[in-house]
């Protein structure tokens, strides 16, 4: 069996830290992805149901703080860059496959349903928490924010607790 070669995790962590530092220096704020999803959602609702977007308080508030199109938000470009970067990384390292991985006791359908459910719950939680793990935990911890540290503890603690209940999906 051929082992897959990944970047040294310490070097990757160093690069992530330098990227975070550069982002804070250039933009005045840290990294995060949930803001891009919010921007895409606002743009979609404005295109599909403009009357609703004009009358709903959530969209009014968003448009008051963002003068330009929601798709011109720098976070949208960040997420597209992450997707393109991940694709190129997989391509260059010969790890690009269209294979659905799942545990021996789980069907592909269950894997897809659980992934979608987990993603929806995570997105809902990111909206409630006013940021995803990148924004709340990583960027928060980079500036030694108590909220960032507590968020990171809650994320890892919650994952540790829930792993017991969901591990049968993988082993």
Chunked mean pLDDT (size 10), the chain, 171 residues: 73 88 83 79 88 84 72 82 89 84 84 89 79 76 84 86 80 71
* Assigned domain for 90 exists: no
What per-residue confidence (pLDDT) applies to 11? Answer: 93
- Indicate whether 148 belongs to any domain: yes
Domain count, the chain: 1
Q: What is the pLDDT of residue 124?
A: 83
pLDDT at 10: 93
- Cα-flanking dihedrals φ and ψ of residue 98, to 5°? -105, 65
> What is the pLDDT, as a whole number, of residue 154?
85
Query: Cα(18)–Cα(51) distance, rounded to whole angstroms?
Result: 43
Q: Is residue 33 part of a domain?
A: no
Round to whole Å and give the CA distance between 4 and 26: 35
The predicted pLDDT at position 93 comes to 82
Residues 6 or more apart from 7 whose CB is under 8 A from it? none
Whole-prediction pTM? 0.68
Domain ranges, residue 146: 100-171
pLDDT at 129: 73
133 found inside a domain: yes
CA pair distance 30, 107, nearest whole angstrom: 38
Q: How many CA atoms lie within 13 A of 96 on its CB side?
A: 12
Helix (H, G, I), strand (E, B) or coil at 95: coil
Whole-angstrom distance, CA of residue 53 vs CA of residue 43? 9
158 within domain boundaries: yes
pLDDT for 36 equals: 82
Residue 53, CA distances (Å) to 36, 66, 74, 76, 112 in order: 18, 14, 22, 20, 31
> So what's the pLDDT on residue 159?
85
Q: Give helix then strand counts, H and E, for the chain.
A: 8, 0
Confirm whether 165 is domain-assigned. yes
Q: Tell me, what's the pLDDT at 65?
A: 66
In a domain, 123, yes or no: yes
Does the residue 24 lie in any domain?
no
């Amino acid at each position: 069996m051929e082992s897959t070669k990944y970047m040294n995790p310490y070097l990757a962590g160093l690069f992530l830290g330098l990227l975070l530092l550069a982002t804070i220096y250039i933009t005045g704020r840290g990294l995060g992805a949930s803001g891009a999803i919010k921007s895409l959602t606002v743009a979609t609702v404005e295109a599909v149901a403009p009357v609703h977007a004009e009358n709903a308080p959530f969209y009014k508030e968003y448009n008051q703080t963002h003068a330009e199109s929601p798709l011109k938000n720098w976070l949208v470009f960040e997420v597209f860059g992450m997707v393109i970067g991940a694709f190129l990384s997989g391509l260059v390292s010969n790890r690009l496959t269209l294979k659905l991985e799942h545990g021996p006791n789980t069907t592909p359908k269950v894997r897809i349903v659980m992934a979608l459910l987990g993603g929806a719950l995570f997105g809902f939680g990111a909206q409630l928490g006013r940021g995803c793990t990148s924004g709340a935990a990583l960027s928060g911890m980079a500036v030694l924010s108590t909220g960032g540290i507590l968020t990171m503890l809650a994320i890892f603690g919650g994952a540790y607790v829930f792993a017991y209940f969901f591990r049968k999906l993988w082993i």
